[in-house]
Every structure is written in C-alpha cells, then in structure tokens.
Amino acid sequence: MSSNAIYLTAALYKFVDLPDFEALQAPLQACCEDNEVKGTLLLAHEGINGTIAGPEAGIRTVLAFLRADPRLASLVHKESWSPKPPFTRMKVKLKKEIVTLRVPELDPNKTVGQYVKPADWNALLADPDVVVIDTRNDYEVAIGTFKGAVNPNIKNFVQLPAWLDAQPHLQGEAAKKTKVAMFCTGGIRCEKSTALMKMRGFDEVYHLEGGILKYLEEIPPEQSTWEGECFVFDERVSVGHGLGLGHHELCRSCRWPLSEQDKLSANYVLGVSCDHCHDQRTPEQKVKLAERQRQVELAEARGELHVGAKMPHHDSL
C-alpha cells in the first residue's frame, strides 16, 4: 500500500443457502452507510457477491458484520487500495442469482471444478492437453488475458453455455475426457462455469482459485503468464501485477476500457464516443453526451460531483 492509498476495496462472494436474503438487505445497507462504505453487494437465495470500498475501519466493520452470520463466517475477500474512492454510492440489491447464468438446475454448492492455486496455475497452462477458457466478457478480455487462453468473444456471461454448445471439440462422450481450465476476475463466474462443465459430464475441470486478481496479487511479474491488465468493476477500471492501478479509463458513452493509444483515435471524444461506439451514436445523442460532459467539467471546477460523472459499470462480476 502506498502512503496516499487511503481507500480499501474488498471484493467478496460466497455461494451459500440464504432463504432469508431479502431480510438481510436493509441491515446490510444501513451497516455500510453508517461506516461510509460504498459499492454494490448482491444478495440472492444462492449467496452474496460484490465489491465495496471505503475507509479501512469501515470495511473491516462491514466484513465483521457479514461474518457474524454463521452462514457467512468463512467468507473470503480480496483486498486492494486506491487513492480515490472507487464508488460513489452504496447499493445492496436483491437478485435471482449472484452471478447470472440462467441455468436453474445448476448448484455450485454441490459440484464445482477443482481449485488451482495461483502458484500452480502456470504449470496447468503449460500442459498441452488442457483447454484454457477465459470466461469473461469481450471488453474484459480485450485489455488482458493469460497467454494461450481461448477467448469466447461473449458480450455477457449468460452467452457462455451457447458458446460451449457451438464448440465441436467439446461435444460428445470422447470430448468429456478433455481437460478444461477456466478463469475469471475474482473466481465467482468460474464457480458456475466449472459446475456447468461438471454437470455436462466433463471429468477434469479446473479453475483458478481467487481468480485473476489473486494471481496478480501473488505471482511476481517475472514469473507471470498474464499479459496486459485486468478489468475491474469500479472506477479504477483496470489493475496490474500487485493489484496496482492500471492505465485504462472508461469511455463514458459505451463503457469500453480505453488505453492511452485508444484515446489518440480521431473517433475519441471525451465523454461522447470512442472507436467502439462512434458509429453507434446518432448526432442527437452525441450532442446530449457532449452537454453532459460539459456539465461534468463545470461541476468538477466547482469541486462538486456531477451525477453523470460516474456511470455504472457492466453488470457482470
């Protein structure tokens, strides 16, 4: 942690039976607000998922509040630091799933793939018989992934089952002997994706324990097979090895992560468009977006936060 990194971010999830999840919403919201903690937490019958940030004491208090529930006593979280607040508001949302895949019969509490520690991940990837699948969305993969990983080019996680259905080498009884390794940002999507593979009859299914974030936290750059940066679902946008701040910003029009090179494009207009959305916005929309950006800059000049300054991120965690 650097001397100016004063905001602690905690990413967490746990699959656990929470039949009373609706009753947990208000007390959890109040605990976060009382401790100046902001971010998003999702509650569902199948568990809890989300990322929160705030003063260290506040985050510790909220985590203790959660773990006071015996069902969440073993809740694991990942930490990182930031000099700026990653979130602008606190939301505790009720959901059907804490990560949406829309396969109702799936239960990660019963069957998931085999966890692989970050220290053992490189050896697994080096096995030529292993098919390594990046289960994240296209805009995440675009800025970084593991060398040699398969990119499904999906817009959101719910498209993964259909993509798997379309892969000839993953069909049939013989294919079920294929070794499959999956990874995602923090591990939660792989709880469901590996459970899906097991449900489909695959024998050897692995996933990176703690996700990319744990790998970047523990594995030094000189030993890493990770290339690029890792997209995160808060105002940091991306992180690198050691979970240090990355070098990407969000396009405030389409929310695609942009590098410094991306911002040199003639199609990039701050707050209005980038290469990914330039042709998708009408002239009228661009005028409105330009006005919103003008209001954001005026608010910043006054030391205020304009409501349009911080847009919600993509909804997959």
Rounded to an integer, what distance in angstroms lies between the CA atom of residue 189 and that of residue 101? 9
Helix (H, G, I), strand (E, B) or coil at 14: strand
Identify which of 63, 57, 225 has the alpha carbon closest to the alpha carbon of residue 132. 225
Helix pair angle (21-34, 56-67), 10° resolution: 160
Q: Are 135 and 190 in contact (CB under 8 A)?
A: yes
Q: At a CB cut-off of 8 Å and minimum separation 6, what does 137 contact?
A: 154, 155, 156, 157, 314, 316
Whole-number Å distance between alpha carbons of 136 and 246:
18
Residues with catalytic function = 184
What are residue 51's DSSP bridge partners? 11, 40
SS (H, E, C) 167-233: CHHHCHHHHCCCEEEEECCCCHHHHHHHHHHHHCCCCCEEEECCHHHHHHHHCCHHHCCEEECEECC
Residue with tokens 């379309």: 166
Helices (H), the chain: 21-34, 56-67, 118-125, 138-141, 160-165, 172-175, 188-199, 211-218, 283-301
